[in-house]
Structure 1
Amino acid sequence: MNSAKAKKRAGRILIFILKILVAVIMFSPIIWVFSGGFKNLTEFTTSSDIIPKNVTLENFNYIFFHSNYYLYVRNTVLLMAGTTLGTLISSSFVAYPLARMEFPGKNLIFSLIVGTMMIPGIALIIPQYIMFGKIGWLDSLLPMIIPSFFAYPYNVFLFRQFFRSIPKELDEAATIDGCSRLGVFFKVLVPLSKSTFTTIGVLSSVFWWNELTQPVFYINSDKWRTLTIALMTTFMYTSGNAFVINWPSIMAASSLMILPPMLLYLFGSRFLVEGIKTSGLKG
């Protein structure tokens, strides 16, 4: 009996050690980024030590007081908030009739929506760029925020699957009490779908916080530059006839950029896991 308990305890300890090793391996790039932000350029290029020999705050001082960091944060937050709000509203509205109502062609419409997920997003960049250029939206956040109000297929799929898992008797009870279709949506489905709204909100927020491809295509001026573009263009200086990349400043800015998604995930992780699990309960 004692031997079995000892083996079970040894197995738990071994699993715990393996988890720690995996965590260290997974977090080592993040630790390296945070460490690089506290080094000067000379030490960064000559030493690979994780712990800086001469800790300096000059990189953070440059970011906060000698660059347009706050402007880039504002633009990124506006982009993230606008697109997340747009996709939550539009995707849930599109998914509602597909999940709770009966009308001709419903399954065909849903199949076409899901089918568009097979179209690579990068394939639409050029025609969208030409279209937005003709209506004067280039060099702004509008080419990224406005399309989010027309629903994203994957988010429609998640909402529909979750809405279908809610008993329709609740809709009937609300209708008997005098609720309209919109009343059923806002008073019944939305309160019961907090996990799905949180899941899609977190995924959308993290995606647009880190998005680089579309801002690079649509934004030209510093006025609307986001953090991802700033990491590519801002932290450089001229040395003779060459551009020198200020890697420690990039590491400092990257460490600051990593924090919001990490905190967002930590606060929303319970709803995130629950939303992904429950969104596929009923087909």
Structure 2
Amino acid sequence: MSEPLRIKIKNQFTPVHLISHIVLLGVGLVLLYPLIFMVLAGFFSKTEFTSTVLGVFPIPKAPTLANYKALVMGSIDTAVTVYFRNSIIRTAYNTFWALITSFLAGYVFARLKFKGKETLFLIMLATQMIPTTLAIIPTYLEYARFPFAGGNRIFTGGTGILNTWWIYLIGGPAINIMGTFLVKQSLEKVPIELDEAARMDGAGTFRLIFQILFPLQLPIMAFIAITTALGTWNDFITPFFYTSSDSLQTLPAAITKLSSVGASPGAVINYPLIITLSLGVTLPALLIFFFFQKYIVQGLASTGIKG
């Protein structure tokens, strides 16, 4: 063994490095413990879970895969396949429109010149300061009084588009304000001479936007796609407040439905199934963040700060 290699190995196994690794291992175990508990709890039956004194790492005496089968394949009682389908469709739909609207709105604010542009942009940014909970009731009334839908004639009576797929189709693809801000900041760093050169070569507006400028914003687009997908997948408010039909619920709403069983006298809540469904909600988000976190960093770093 060469002397430089021996010195390198010696430096890596100092008491400070050993203590650091032990501390990091302990912190990592603490952070992963809820996930480990959820995985183990999923092997319990409802009866055994409620009658067992759980330890730090619960191990069932009679393991069952029923909860995981319900998560993957669904079941008659929980209709998990419907909830999964709705969550996937809604996530893909919102992500697609977030990319389109964010890029086009960002292009408008970064490249086009019109009166009141800065004021309009500031007003749009100011809406980000409104808490989501304050918008629930106005949004509900807006959906309930939607004209010519659900028995409404002109904003009166009826149910509007409540408890229909239009809640997801109309309410979902709103302009992603943070995405618009990031695209605007990034496009302003691209020289305007690039646009002029492309137009001199015969490129129209559509080709300039989608073949020249859009590829330059791929890190930003990846960031918008990831954050929108995570937000939509974990969204609980929209299906809970604006829909009631089982065929419209998403996976987070399914957990609430199962939890409400305990309101009936003598009913036993199926905690193992609830925990397993929660695992089904958590894992996709964790995997997306784990594999695509570098795009989140690149997306934010590529925008820069204009002062």
**Aligned position for 1:272:** 296
Q: SS where residue 109 of structure 1 aligns? A: helix
CA shift, 1:275, in A, is 0.5
Cα gap change, 1:148 to 1:239, in 2 (>3 Å): closer
Q: SS where residue 234 of structure 1 aligns? A: helix
1:96-141 deviations in whole A, cap 9, x for unaligned?
0211233332222221111111111221211111121122211124
**Aligned position for 1:91:** 102
Matched letter for residue 270 of structure 1: K
| Structure 2 residue corresponding to 1:259, chosen from 277, 283, 288 | 283
Contact in 1 for aligned 2:258/2:270 (Cα 8 Å): no
**Aligned position for 2:59:** 52
Cα gap change, 1:4 to 1:31, in 2 (>3 Å): closer
Cα gap change, 1:61 to 1:6, in 2 (>3 Å): closer
1:16 counterpart = 2:21? yes
Give the alignment's Cα RMSD to 1 decimal.
2.6
Contact in 1 for aligned 2:43/2:60 (Cα 8 Å): no
Question: More relative contact order in 1 or in 2 (CA 8 Å, sep 6+)?
Answer: 1
**Aligned position for 2:203:** 179
Q: Distance in 1 between matches of 2:304 and 2:96?
A: 23
| Structure 2 residue corresponding to 1:39, chosen from 17, 20, 44 | 44
Cα gap change, 1:58 to 1:154, in 2 (>3 Å): same
Matched letter for residue 142 of structure 2: M
Cα gap change, 1:248 to 1:170, in 2 (>3 Å): same
1:169 counterpart = 2:193? yes
Q: How does 1:116-265 map to 2 (within 5 A)?
A: 116-135=127-146, 136-234=160-258, 241-265=265-289
Q: SS where residue 244 of structure 2 aligns? A: coil
Q: SS where residue 55 of structure 2 aligns? A: coil
Per mean C-alpha deviation after superposition, the further-off stretch among 111-120 and 62-71 is: 62-71
Unaligned runs of 5+ in 2: 147-159
Contact in 2 for aligned 1:95/1:159 (Cα 8 Å): yes
Rg comparison, structure with higher value? 2
Contact in 1 for aligned 2:70/2:80 (Cα 8 Å): no
Per mean C-alpha deviation after superposition, the further-off stretch among 22-31 and 67-76 is: 22-31
Q: SS where residue 268 of structure 2 aligns? A: strand
Q: Percent identity?
A: 29
Q: SS where residue 245 of structure 1 aligns? A: coil
| Structure 1 residue corresponding to 2:90, chosen from 69, 74, 79 | 79
Cα gap change, 1:270 to 1:240, in 2 (>3 Å): closer
Output the TM-score relative to the length of structure 1. 0.89
Q: Distance in 1 between matches of 2:130 and 2:260?
A: 36
Cα gap change, 1:219 to 1:148, in 2 (>3 Å): closer
Matched letter for residue 260 of structure 1: P
| Structure 2 residue corresponding to 1:106, chosen from 101, 104, 117 | 117
Q: Distance in 2 between matches of 1:240 and 1:225?
A: 21
Per mean C-alpha deviation after superposition, the further-off stretch among 160-169 and 232-241 is: 232-241
Cα gap change, 1:175 to 1:32, in 2 (>3 Å): same
Output the TM-score relative to the length of structure 2. 0.82
Q: How many residues align?
A: 283
Q: SS where residue 230 of structure 1 aligns? A: helix
Runs of 4+ in 1 over 4 A off after TM superposition: 1-9, 235-240
Q: Distance in 2 between matches of 1:171 and 1:19?
A: 50
